[in-house]
Amino acid sequence: MNIEKIMVVGAGQMGSGIAQVCATSGFEVVLYDIQEEAVSKGLANIYNLLSRQVGKGKLSEGERKEIINRIQQSTSLQDARDCQFVIEAAVENIDVKKDIFKQLDEMTRPETILATNTSSLPITEIAAVTNRPEKVIGMHFMNPVPVMKLIEVIRGLATSDETYEIVNKLGEKLNKVPIEVNDFPGFIANRILLPMINEAIYALYEGVATKEAIDDIMKLGMNHPMGPLQLADFIGLDTCLYIMETLHEGLGDDKYRPCPLLRKYVNAGWLGKKTGRGFYVYQ
């Protein structure tokens, strides 16, 4: 399959990052979101990130303009009709994703591959709502997308070898390292990362140490670039809670039970950096 045009569904932090990487790699991109304001904000984020690259001398002004010109703004999923590939990066909610994939299945050509950027949800279940489960696959990009090299490539039960090979080659064209994992709750990245974050929250909840001490110990003692509580704030505490609930429900083991403090913060609307307050306060 010759991929020339890619739709990215969702213009948030992950979606705009994926759109930037695709456009930088020479693909025509349709950046979609429900609201025009969200799409404009996503494009503005891309522009600002590219501007930093220009300021550092890593990108020319002409190259930035070319990248931005490759991105088309959209508030209609119908614009996926001319795309050979779709990457969904909407909210981490199974019902929302199923609804999007049902619509995409109806609107896109039969040969179009539908990928989801889910960080924890079952690919097989999402694929089952379509008439092309063999062309549905997981592409879990890491945050921030323009910087991080990894893409977890997750095959559903019906995903074909051909689809996997196309996605693998696409990942390499995006200057990423695609690594195949099986369709289990949390896959590999979040099955290991989120329980560590959850345990750090338990340590804070139980008064073992302050948030600053917990983060400093992991940074200085384990050489982590960011402490687990600060990282949770950057991921979004609502996303952390949803992934822990997915792990707990999907694997049935109480070691994945979300910490009550995490649930309390989410209920309070303290979701991390995006709301200005999580474990830390942000201006």
For residue 221, the domain's CATH number is 1.10.1040.10
Same domain for 198 and 245? yes
| Residue at 283 is within a domain | no
**Residues in Cβ contact with 61 at an 8 Å cutoff, skipping those fewer than 6 apart:** 54
pLDDT at 216: 98
Same domain for 166 and 204? no
**Strand, coil or helix: what is 75?**
coil
Q: Per residue of the chain (283 residues), what is the pLDDT tens digit?
A: 899 999 999 999 999 999 999 999 999 999 999 999 999 999 999 999 999 999 999 999 999 999 999 999 999 999 999 999 999 999 999 999 999 999 999 999 999 999 999 999 999 999 999 999 999 999 999 999 999 999 999 999 999 999 999 999 999 999 999 999 999 999 999 999 999 999 999 999 999 999 999 999 999 999 999 999 999 999 999 999 999 999 999 999 999 999 999 999 999 999 999 999 999 999 8
pLDDT at 31: 98
Same domain for 23 and 85? yes
Q: Which domain holds residue 98?
A: 5-181
Same domain for 120 and 150? yes
Active-site residue list: 119, 140, 152, 190
Same domain for 89 and 145? yes
pLDDT at 11: 97
Same domain for 41 and 11? yes
| Residue at 282 is within a domain | no
| Residue at 281 is within a domain | no
> In the chain, how many domains are there?
2
Same domain for 176 and 261? no
pTM, two decimal places: 0.92
Same domain for 138 and 225? no
What is the distance between the alpha carbons of residues 42 and 15, in angstroms, rounded to a whole number?
8
Same domain for 213 and 164? no
pLDDT at 88: 98
Same domain for 157 and 241? no
List 9's β-bridge partners, or say none.
Answer: 32, 88
List 155's β-bridge partners, or say none.
Answer: 137
